[in-house]
């Protein structure tokens, strides 16, 4: 797929800002002028408008449990945990590429990635509820 001309990129940014009413009069005039001559950007702007309408008209989801955000101290600990996990994954990938077992494991990794990405909304809500309860309990323990 070819790259867009720089004017189309700028106009598409204007179209995105226009959806939220964030354009100046000059930017709005440039947008309208370009949309009158460019069918591709006109379709892009129309699609943006439809998507924004759908998002804004969708009712908010109400949860039957509160979401408790972890304290800063707990978040920093999780950042280090994620960093350590990322370093471990990078080391395993590097070692497997060096040893040459990357191709054999690739098919199993793709299957497990597909399985992990196929969580149902109920399962996601259950996981969010459990994490929220765990964080609330941890927060209560630290406050005492």
* Domain range list for the chain: 6-57, 72-143
Which residue is listed with tokens 């809500």?
A: 125
Q: Answer yes or no: are the C-beta atoms of 15 and 52 closer than 8 Å.
A: no
Q: What is the pLDDT of residues 85-125, one digit of tens each?
A: 888 888 887 777 676 654 554 445 545 544 555 567 777 77
Q: CA 143, CA 6: separation in Å to the nearest integer?
A: 54
Q: What pLDDT score was predicted for residue 128?
A: 79
Name which of 74, 21, 90, 75 is nearest 49 in CA terms.
Answer: 21
pTM of the entire structure? 0.42
Angle in degrees, CA 8, 10, 15, rounded to 5: 90
Q: CA 48, CA 44: separation in Å to the nearest integer?
A: 6
């Amino acid at each position: 797929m070819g790259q867009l001309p720089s004017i189309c990129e700028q106009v598409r940014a204007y179209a995105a800002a226009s959806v939220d009413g964030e354009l100046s009069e000059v930017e709005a005039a440039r947008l309208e002028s370009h949309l009158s001559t460019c069918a591709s950007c006109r379709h892009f702007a129309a699609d943006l408008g439809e998507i924004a309408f759908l998002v804004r008209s969708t009712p908010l989801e109400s949860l039957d449990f509160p979401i408790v955000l972890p304290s800063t101290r707990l978040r920093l600990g999780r950042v280090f945990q994620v960093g350590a996990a990322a370093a471990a994954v990078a080391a395993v990938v590097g070692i497997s590429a060096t040893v040459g077992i990357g191709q054999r494991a690739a098919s199993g990794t793709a299957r497990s990635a597909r399985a992990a990405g196929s969580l149902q909304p109920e399962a996601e809500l259950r996981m969010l509820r459990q994490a929220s309860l765990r964080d609330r309990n941890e927060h209560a323990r630290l406050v005492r």
